[in-house]
Amino acid sequence: MSTSKAWAEYLARGVPPQKRYLIGGNWKANGTLAQTAGIVKILNQGGAIPLEAEVVIAPPAHLLGYVKDNLRPDVAVSAQNSALTTKPGAFTGELPAVLLKDFGLNWVIVGHSERREGFGGPGETDDVVATKTKVAVDAGLHVMACVGEKLEQREAGKTTEVVLSQLNAIASKLAREDWSKVVIAYEPVWAIGTGKVATPEQAQEVHESIRAFVKEKVGAQQAALLRIIYGGSVKGSSAPGLILKPDIDGFLVGGASLTSDFVTIIRAVKSP
């Protein structure tokens, strides 16, 4: 199936044209000023963004202003995390969603597995991730909410159980209308930064179960419009095969988003 056929089928699901594939670039804790200037230059000189793609870059917090001011205007900027608090105040080191919105940002990533793990400290629970998602949506942000199983959970046959349990926590905090601002990023932990990308079939199977869950628990329209993106060692070479699957609506890219390969990934959704 060609990419244009995939796009035609995508639209045939009743999806409005403005529901583009979402390509997110998560820079994680990377980016000296010199490196950042280089990546911004690559993106700015990377040619037209395909009609089918919406591109969002998530630099680390200290670079949000620089990237927002220097990146081409047709690429959005996202935070990588936001706070539980609904209000600004005495929360040292936190990024309240209302302040991100006030700063002119429209996106945030919530519940990345690296934050769920906790970097040696207490990680973010399903409940924390769900509350952050709701707080961010209420602040007017679009949220890429991450879910995904660890290798041992996959090997124990618990992938669907784990992912849907994480999703259920998020769904339990959201009103039906909130779903228009939510993207679900399926990121199997075993595929993140390992070079072991999920096969299109493995990713499609989980994405399909996520959409079915949202259809049952929230509604058919919300499920059809929901963007479910895949993350985990996506490269320019693997993106074309993944994007052809009917329930893969884009990518959340880590390592490759720091290189010119990200432009190749963006082009993977372009109709020939």
Ligand X SMILES: O=C[C@H](O)COP(=O)(O)O
Residues in contact with ligand X by the rule CB under 6 A: 26, 112, 187, 192-193, 231-234, 252-256
Catalytic residue among 112, 114, 149, 207: 112
Residue 232 — left, alpha, or beta (φ > 0 → left; ψ -120 to 50 → alpha)? left
The total of other beta-carbon atoms located within 10 Å of residue 42's CB is 15
Instruction: Indicate the burial class of 33 (C-beta count within 10 angstroms; 0-12, 13-18, 19 or more).
Output: exposed
Q: Give yes or no: 177 in active site.
A: no
Structure tokens at 21: 């594939």
Instruction: Between 98 and 231, name the residue whose CB sits nearer to ligand X.
Output: 231
Instruction: Between 38 and 224, name the residue whose CB sits nearer to ligand X.
Output: 38
Q: Give yes or no: 142 in active site.
A: no
> What residue number has its CB nearest to ligand X?
254
Inter-residue contact 24 to 185 (CB < 8 Å): yes
Closest CB 226 distance from ligand X, rounded Å: 18
Instruction: Between 124 and 223, name the residue whose CB sits nearer to ligand X.
Output: 124
Closest CB 13 distance from ligand X, rounded Å: 26
End-to-end, the C-alpha distance of the chain in Å comes to: 12
Instruction: Between 98 and 100, name the residue whose CB sits nearer to ligand X.
Output: 100
Classify strands 227-230 and 21-26 as parallel, antiparallel or unpaired. Answer: unpaired
Closest CB 58 distance from ligand X, rounded Å: 8
Closest CB 47 distance from ligand X, rounded Å: 22
Catalytic residue among 52, 114, 124, 187: 187
What amino acid positions are annotated as catalytic residues? 112, 187
